[in-house]
Amino acid sequence: MGWVLLGVGLLLACYTLLRHGLRQAPPPRARPVLRGRTAIVTGGSGGIGAATALELARCGARVVLATRSAPRGEAAAHRIRTETGNAEVRFMQLDLASLRSVRAFASAFLRQEPQLHLLINNAGVSAGGMTEDGFSLPFQVNHLGHFLLTQLLLERLQSCAPSRVVIVASSAHCAGHLCLDTLGRPPPGLLSTFQDYCDSKLANVLHARELATRLQGTQVTCYAVHPGFVNTELFRYAPLWLKPLILPLAWLFFRDAAEGSQTSLYCATHEGLECYSGRYFTNCGLQEPWPPARDDRLARALWEASERLVGL
């Protein structure tokens, strides 16, 4: 019995060292005052989005949780209002897998909300089928839906400037490869699911880069962020055979949602980042993305292709 207890103790010690040694989450920072400022957080009902929305509400911001599920969105908004004492937290329905829903959300928001200072493009999926618009689910949810949403809200962001757009990307962009002729279609090959996700994350980083170029002089700035490896529902659409491999790793080594939200919050609220608009951040600091994500010609071509695909 003694050997068993010793073995269990050693396993727990190893787990603790690995979990806290490998995650390397950035330290929490002092809370800014955000009273009078309005934020949208896509995917705000769970995971990194909910953690981001919670912290923005604690800072006094008016927060709109833009998420697909009405029951989950309403529950999250209620939970955040209760926990923070901030009554200015509401849910609005948004399904990024439907361009029709994106347009409906933007129209409703612009009618109902006079201000917008922070747009946190956080929602994402790692795998899935095809959307009603004929695109792969990851590419539309992660990039095209957010691209359209940002464009539809851009005038409001400019009228309320200084304002910021934060795009949650990933270090997975390093494996991305964008073929503009087949943009939005699932890539071929055995690793199609993984490649599709990586392509969408490369598109996220390039979107921030080109958006910054087009917004120069407007006092609207934007940032792409890698939140770290976070234990969320991102992989809920992953193939069943892959989940037994992912879940133990996520449980052991990935950050929790609050830790994963730190870089998004840093880029949304930290003073003095305006000169870094369009750049890529991780662990609350600048990092150079992989060379394809620094290709200005590719960023411009992606923008133009995305405009065509979403009907702008």
pLDDT in tens, the chain (312 residues): 444 333 334 444 344 444 444 455 555 667 799 999 999 999 999 889 999 999 999 999 999 999 999 999 999 999 999 999 999 999 999 999 999 999 999 999 999 999 999 999 999 998 889 999 999 999 999 999 999 999 999 999 999 999 999 999 998 899 999 999 999 998 887 788 889 999 999 999 999 999 999 999 999 999 999 986 544 555 555 555 555 555 555 444 455 667 888 999 999 999 999 999 999 999 999 999 999 999 999 999 999 999 999 999
Report pTM: 0.85
Check if 280 is active-site.
Answer: no
- Does the residue 267 lie in any domain? yes
- Does the residue 244 lie in any domain? yes
- For the chain, how many structural domains are there in total? 1
Exposed (0-12), middle (13-18) or buried (19+): which is 13, by Cβ within 10 Å? exposed
Q: Which domain holds residue 287?
A: 35-310
- Does the residue 50 lie in any domain? yes
- Does the residue 30 lie in any domain? no
CATH of the domain at 119: 3.40.50.720
Pairwise CA distance, residues 278 & 150, whole Å: 14
Residue 205 structure tokens = 């980083």
Q: What is the CA radius of gyration of the chain?
A: 19
- Does the residue 260 lie in any domain? yes
- Does the residue 261 lie in any domain? yes
- Does the residue 26 lie in any domain? no
CB-CB contact of 147 with 42 (8 Å): no
Sheet containing strand 285-286, edge to edge, reads 89-93, 62-67, 38-42, 118-121, 163-168, 220-226, 280-282, 285-286
Catalytic residue among 197, 223, 266, 280: 197
- Does the residue 133 lie in any domain? yes
